[in-house]
Amino acid sequence: MATLNDVAKKANVSKMTVSRVINHPEQVTDELKQLVYQAMEELDYQPNIAARALANNRTQVIKVFIMEEMDTTEPYYMNLLTGIANELDKHAYSLQLVTRRNLQVGRCDGFIVCGMREEDYELIGKLDKPTVLFGENVHGYDYVDSKNQEGIETATEYGISLGYETLLYIGIDVDEPFELSREKGYINQMEAHGKEPMIYRFENHSRYSAKFIKENWGLFRKNTLFICSSDRLAIGIQRGLHEAGASMPDDYGIIGHDGIFLDQIAHPQLTTMKQFVMEMGAECARLVVKKIEKNGAPQGNVRYDTELIERETTRKKPEDSGRLKKHAKKRTRTK
């Protein structure tokens, strides 16, 4: 059976370098990692993960705690979990999905927490391992999220550039940082263009936004754009407009937010602000592994741009679209 020394000789590097590639790949150049990985593959070398974990008093397990009720019909969390799992696998960690009922079952080395609300921070504060949140927060936890304010600013600016006279914001009825940031983006652009902000909030289900259109149809003049905080809400708006016989996108437009499957199956397909959820999941995994390696030291926050995806629920204006799009997958780290 191949040994660490065999891999070092095959890759023409030191034994210490091989150990660093296995245990701390973030400290090694891509070129060195490629040499060592190739040697390991050729020699069929398998690191003894269990022995390493035992020596470091670790479990090689990360618990992912989703605090809101998951809708299994929407692939948002599946994209997130796939990104987390793929990245953890690179660092020889396993993912354990937990709920409030089994949070204390089994040991782990760290937590990734998703879907939290303000009332959940008392419980989050009791977590005794390095913790990273998926989502903005004002409690000082390291987090990964989209640039929520900037994304809705882009959507609002784009809608104004298309000539829509009235722009309504359809938000999620929660007083949470991500939603407040999105609303702020809408308000900033409306005020910058001398327009009056109009905000309506609903639970994040399409039936509520569809009902809103049905019950208030007489209020919506032609040349109106609905900017929505989620694709779910946007689909409800779309259904309500369709049932009212409205013409889209010339008389009424819609911009959603998320870009995770629902925007593509909608008819017509939704213009939306796409979040890079799988990539953000991987970033959560990278941050929590770094926190573990640094004995829980803060690693800062990482925020990803959203990207404007132009489809069939807004008018076309090709000459302006390139200027307004965000750079895909660009991320910003703050301490």
pLDDT digit string, tens, across residues 192-212: 999 999 999 999 999 999 999
User: What's the whole-number mean pLDDT along residues 296-322?
Assistant: 86
Query: How far from 326 is each of 178, 184, 231, 308, CA to CA, in Å?
Result: 18, 18, 18, 7
42 or 57: which leads in pLDDT: 42
Query: The tokens of 197 are what?
Result: 């902000």
CA dihedral 80, 82, 87, 92 (to 10 degrees): 130
53 or 147: which leads in pLDDT: 147
Find where tokens 């489809």 sit: 311
Residues with Cβ within 8 Å of residue 261, at least 6 apart in sequence: 74, 75
d(CA 104, CA 125): 14
287 or 263: which leads in pLDDT: 287
Q: Give tens-digit pLDDT for 127-177.
A: 999 999 999 999 999 999 999 999 999 999 999 999 999 999 999 999 999
Q: Give tens-digit pLDDT for 208-251.
A: 999 999 999 999 999 999 999 999 999 999 999 999 999 999 99
231 closest CA partner among 278, 202, 280, 271: 271
Enclosing H/E stretch for 170: strand 166-172
Ranges assigned E (strand) in 248-330: 252-258, 271-274, 301-304, 307-309
- Inter-residue contact 298 to 234 (CB < 8 Å): no
| Beta bridge mates, 273 | 257, 308
pLDDT recorded at residue 71: 63
Picking from 31-35, 74-78, 284-288, which range would have the lowest pLDDT averaged per residue?
74-78
Average pLDDT, the chain: 89
Of all residues in the chain, the percent with pLDDT exceeding 70 is 90
pLDDT recorded at residue 322: 46
Picking from 54-68, 90-104, 260-274, 316-330, which range would have the lowest pLDDT averaged per residue?
316-330
User: What's the whole-number mean pLDDT along residues 6-13?
Assistant: 91
